[in-house]
């Protein structure tokens, strides 16, 4: 298996676009705002990709597409999050409300549900906002994850006002 931190090849861009429903075809992944991770099997087939964009000097947005769950390994996650938190204060993941698998995976990674963003993905789709701070990240050496008081429990939550 081979892990790459180089800008994405075309097949990785297409895979990320297909899996997330977001058109990444126009993105210049050589731009230094992007942190890219690709893992391939020995035969060159994709196991998964991680694409993180620094939206500001303190915040990176996290996107992932996984073809093979063995893509996500503790050593890789430690490398990814150590790299991101060397600059970022927070990492944000926007997830479609119906994507239960992505919600579960985000929570397992250590992301905390923070709220709802109407039409927050490409101005066309709603998103749940998940965030991670350095002190939330169990993948960093020496960090003991603290309990997070989450005023927004996701299960059974409604988004917006009820009358």
Kindly report, residue by residue over 15-31, the tens digit of the pLDDT: 999 999 899 999 999 99
User: What pLDDT sits at residue 153?
Assistant: 56
Residue in the block written with tokens 């942190």: 35
Q: Structural domain tally of the chain?
A: 1
Q: Are strands 90-95 and 59-66 parallel, antiparallel or unpaired?
A: parallel
What the block records as the tokens of 73 is 């390994």
Query: Is 147 within the bounds of a domain?
Result: no
Percentage of the chain lying above the pLDDT 90 cut: 79
Rounded Cα gap, residues 160 and 3, in angstroms: 42
Place 1 in a pLDDT band, splitting at 50, 70 and 90.
confident
Residue 97 sits in which domain range? 2-136
Query: Is 79 within the bounds of a domain?
Result: yes
pTM: 0.86
CATH number at residue 39: 3.40.630.30
Mean pLDDT for 45-66 is 96
Residue in the block written with tokens 């087939």: 45
Q: Is the pLDDT of residue 115 over 50?
A: yes
Burial 53-77 (b: 16+ CB within 10 A, else e): bbeeeeebbbbbbbbeeebbeeebb
Query: Is 159 within the bounds of a domain?
Result: no
Task: Enumerate residues 6+ apart whose C-beta is below 8 A from 40.
Answer: 1, 2, 4, 46, 47
Query: Is 143 within the bounds of a domain?
Result: no
Query: Is 44 within the bounds of a domain?
Result: yes
Rounded Cα gap, residues 30 and 17, in angstroms: 17
Query: Is 12 within the bounds of a domain?
Result: yes
160 against 14, higher pLDDT: 14
Query: Is 144 within the bounds of a domain?
Result: no
Query: Is 39 within the bounds of a domain?
Result: yes
Task: Enumerate residues 6+ apart whose C-beta is below 8 A from 112.
Answer: 130, 131, 132, 136, 148, 150
3-state DSSP assignment of residue 80: helix
């Amino acid at each position: 298996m081979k892990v790459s931190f180089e800008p994405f090849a075309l097949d990785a861009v297409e895979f990320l676009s297909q899996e997330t429903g977001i058109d990444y075809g126009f993105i210049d992944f050589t731009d230094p705002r992007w942190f890219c991770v690709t893992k391939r099997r020995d035969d060159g087939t994709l196991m998964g990709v991680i694409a993180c964009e620094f939206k500001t000097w303190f915040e990176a947005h996290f996107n992932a597409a996984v073809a093979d769950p063995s893509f996500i390994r503790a050593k890789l996650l430690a490398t990814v999050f150590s790299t991101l938190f060397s600059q970022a204060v927070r990492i944000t993941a926007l997830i479609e409300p119906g994507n239960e698998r992505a919600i579960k995976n985000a929570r397992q990674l250590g992301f905390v549900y923070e709220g709802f963003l109407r039409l927050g993905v490409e101005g066309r789709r709603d998103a749940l906002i998940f965030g991670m701070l350095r002190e939330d990240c169990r993948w960093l050496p020496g960090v003991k994850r603290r309990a997070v008081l989450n005023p927004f429990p996701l299960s059974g939550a409604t988004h917006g006002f009820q009358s």
